Amino acid sequence: MRKRMVRHLPEGNELKLLDLATGTGDVLLQLHKWSGRIKTGIGLDMSGGMLSYGRVKVHEAGLQDSLHLMRGDAQCMGIGSESFDVATISFGIRNVPDVPKALKEIHRILKSGGRGMVLEFSLPGNPIIRAGYLFYFRHILTRIGALISGDAQAYTYLNKTVEAFPYGEAFVSLMDDAGFDRVEAIPLTFGIATLYVGHKD
């Protein structure tokens, strides 16, 4: 799914990337590798533990001079306006307390001509696939999760947040309201996830 982001990067060979809810920096590392057009990148996350592990991965890849991981909040980044060519967040926007505020922050830190990309779970449009997906999410995944982790509640939470979170045109409207232009919603894997791409003209 993340490889689809590469196709929607803005033009240029020395792009500056900000990855939010970066975790251990996987998206940052992958986009740098797959695109060949990311000159520098910053990964922001609230979890110091995840970032520590991510820094090891960045160092092992020999990219410590190009990619940096920092503690930070997507709702209040403390980053200068118009600083990045592209900003991404993968499967993290759903857990942000104030989504509109975070989207406005993403728009603020992008340069003119930049792009914001949000990859998030969604619900399939096909009723048969949707029914099977919801059955798996509501009944099978929670049981598997309980067996493996001993915490069924965490997987019940995942299901509830995915079902309640705005997707498709509803999320496009949120990005429109945040100031993005020409927002696209690109369904992936039969609509199980959607990549939203917004331009800053």
> Are the C-beta atoms of 48 and 71 separated by less than 8 Å?
yes
The pLDDT, as a whole number, for residue 76 is 96
pLDDT tens digit string along 46-101? 999 999 999 999 999 999 999 999 999 999 999 999 999 999 999 999 999 999 99
List the beta bridge partners of residue 84: 110
Please tell me the distance from the alpha carbon of residue 194 to that of residue 1, in angstroms, as a whole number: 9
Please tell me the distance from the alpha carbon of residue 124 to that of residue 160, in angstroms, as a whole number: 15
The pLDDT, as a whole number, for residue 145 is 66
Strands 15-20 and 84-90: parallel
pTM: 0.91
Please tell me the distance from the alpha carbon of residue 158 to that of residue 30, in angstroms, as a whole number: 25
The pLDDT, as a whole number, for residue 174 is 98
Q: Quickly list DSSP for 72-84.
A: -BTTB----TT-E
Smallest Cα–Cα separation from 60: which of 103, 95, 26, 105?
26
The domains of the chain, with CATH numbers, are 3-122+167-199 (3.40.50.150), 124-162 (no CATH)
Question: Along the chain (201 residues), what's the average pLDDT of each consecutive run of 10 residues?
Answer: 90 96 96 96 96 97 97 96 98 95 98 97 90 81 70 64 90 98 96 96 93
The pLDDT, as a whole number, for residue 152 is 59
The pLDDT, as a whole number, for residue 157 is 63
> Within 10 Å of residue 65's Cβ, how many Cβ atoms?
8
Residues 6+ apart with CB under 8 A from 55: 25, 64, 69
AA letter at 94: R
Phi, psi of 59, deg, nearest 5 = -65, -40
Please tell me the distance from the alpha carbon of residue 136 to that of residue 123, in angstroms, as a whole number: 12
The pLDDT, as a whole number, for residue 149 is 63
